[in-house]
Amino acid sequence: MTRKRTMMWMFASVGLIATAGAGVATRASTAAKPKVTTVEVTRGDLVQAISAAGSLEAVTTVNVGSQVSGVVQTLFADYNDIVRKGQTLARLDPSLFRTQVEQAEANLVRAEADVDRLKVARDAARLALDRTTRLAGKQLVAAADLETAQVAVASAEAQVKSAQASVAQASASVNQARVNLEHTIITSPIDGIVISRAVDTGQTVAASMQAPTLFILAADLTKMHLNASIDESDVGQIEAGQPVTFRVEAYPNESFAGRVAQVRLQAVVSQNVVTYAAVIDVENPELKLKPGMTATVTVEVARRDDALTVPAAALRFRPTAALLASLGGASGGPAPSCAGVANCGTLWIYDGTGIRGVAVQTGITNGTAVEILGTAVEEGAAAVSAVTLPAASSTTVTSAASSPSTSRSPLLGSSPPPPPSGGMGGPPR
């Protein structure tokens, strides 16, 4: 009886081991199958754009200054005033300049009087020369007296010419003084709006080396320029006429439109970063946009309507040989070579049982989706974007009891097995 119970324990242990092994094999075969994540090849509109930052400014901006120095006597314009060409903006104290005009006019009168005086002396010298010439013809005067009379006439004529030049100089001084007096009245050179005023009444302006700026006028704020800083890596894609959309912080929920007018050739280097200025024409009929506003710019460099697209993650997927083996091999073989084809990539198409590689030519991209050219793949195809392998710990989970003692053979261990069900007692001694 004792030997019989021992044999029963041995057969029961072998059965438990076999059952546990079958459970492990079943669980391992189930967990070893990878999980394939796919994305769909679809059709839709695709836009490739470049982002940049910029600032708004008026198309034409004029700095109005003063050509003369003086004290601001009166201001006739202020911020946001609409002015016309020739309208008076400010006036400087004209008293000093009026004095200069009067002084210049007095100098002119004195110069003219000198001319008259010298003309009288010239005429007298000519009469003396005529008399001396007649007397010399009768040999009543010496030849030296005749020469002296001739020299006196020439000297008188030279003095008259010098005095006439002084009159012209005095006249120019009068004109200059009058012009300076006129410059005490500051007028608008264009039709526009005042966007800046730099002086107040009573302030002294000094026009020594350069004209001080009193006002800044914008010609027309219904049309503005947006200067965007384009990175050197993107400037090759920017061309005149491309559509632009941008946003400003003042209207975060509103988008504005414009077009690229030109890309300036002057490079701007800041912290070893090279950028180029792109000038964008902007319509501002409602005058919402103000000079100096910062804008976030999006330049549309390419557009495709009803294009065949696939998420970019599918083109980045690269299966290894071990991964292909875990999927049961690639149906149809590896992806064909696309050597010599520009912008070539590989899509791995999943058909439910295996994957196959397809060489495709790519077009434009918006960063998340890529255009597919040609007919290598069709709309609705499932492109593999990722494959998830099972965790190593899951392959060790079995269907038997989790206690280690239940899987030990009674013939290999020193611990006695539990009694069989039915209460037949312990093992033999």
Helix or strand (DSSP H, E) at 108: helix 95-137
Residues 317 and 380 placed together within one structural domain of the fold: yes
pLDDT digits (tens, 9 = 90+) for 277-330: 999 999 999 999 999 999 999 999 999 999 999 999 999 988 887 777 777 655
Q: What confidence tens digit (pLDDT) does each residue in 188-236 have?
A: 999 999 999 999 999 999 987 778 899 999 998 999 999 999 999 999 9
Q: pTM surpassing 0.85?
A: no
Residues 110 and 41 in one domain: no
What's the total number of domains in the chain?
A: 2
H/E segment holding residue 280: strand 273-283
Highest mean pLDDT among 24-38, 144-158, 309-323, 395-409: 144-158
Within a domain: 290: no
CA dihedral sign, ordered 30, 35, 41, 42: positive
Quote the CA–CA distance of 183 and 221 in Å, as a whole number: 28
What does DSSP assign to residue 141?
S
45-66: average pLDDT = 93
Q: Give yes or no for a contact between 363 and 380, defined as CB atoms under 8 angstroms apart.
A: no
Average pLDDT over residues 79-106: 94
Residue 230 contacts residue 278 (beta carbons within 8 Å): yes
Q: What's the CATH number where 123 sits?
A: 1.10.287
150 within domain boundaries: yes
Measured CA to CA, the distance from residue 32 to residue 247 in angstroms comes to 51
* Tokens matching residue 338: 């696309």
Confirm if 284 and 49 have CB atoms less than 8 A apart: no
Q: Which of 118, 144, 171 is the last residue of a domain?
A: 171
> Is residue 280 one of the residues assigned to a domain?
no
Round to whole Å and give the CA distance between 42 and 56. 39
Spatial CA neighbour of 369 closest among 305, 314, 317, 303: 314
3-class SS at 407? helix
Give pLDDT tens digits for 341-388.
Answer: 678 888 898 887 788 888 898 999 988 999 999 888 889 999 999 888
Do the domain assignments include residue 413?
no
The CATH number of whichever domain residue 346 belongs to comes to: 2.40.420
For 109-239, strand residue ranges (E) read 185-187, 192-197, 204-205, 213-218, 223-231
Residue 340 has pLDDT above 90, yes or no: no
- Please check whether residue 368 lies inside any domain of the structure: yes
- Identity at 77, one-letter amino acid code: A
**What is the tens place of the pLDDT at every residue in 147-179?**
999 999 999 999 999 999 999 999 999 999 999
Whether residue 41 is found in the same domain as residue 113: no
Calculate mean pLDDT across residues 24-52.
76
Q: Which of 171, 201, 235 is the last residue of a domain?
A: 171
Residue 325 lies in a domain: yes
Write down the pLDDT at residue 391. 62
Distance separating alpha carbons of residues 88 and 76, to the nearest angstrom: 7
Domain boundary among 107, 136, 171: 171
Rounded mean pLDDT of the chain? 83
Q: 339: domain range?
A: 35-46+307-388
- Give SS3 for 174: helix
Residue 107: inside a domain: yes
In a domain, 313, yes or no: yes
Quote the pLDDT of residue 330.
Answer: 54
- Measure the CA angle with vertex 406, ends 409 and 22; round to 5°: 85
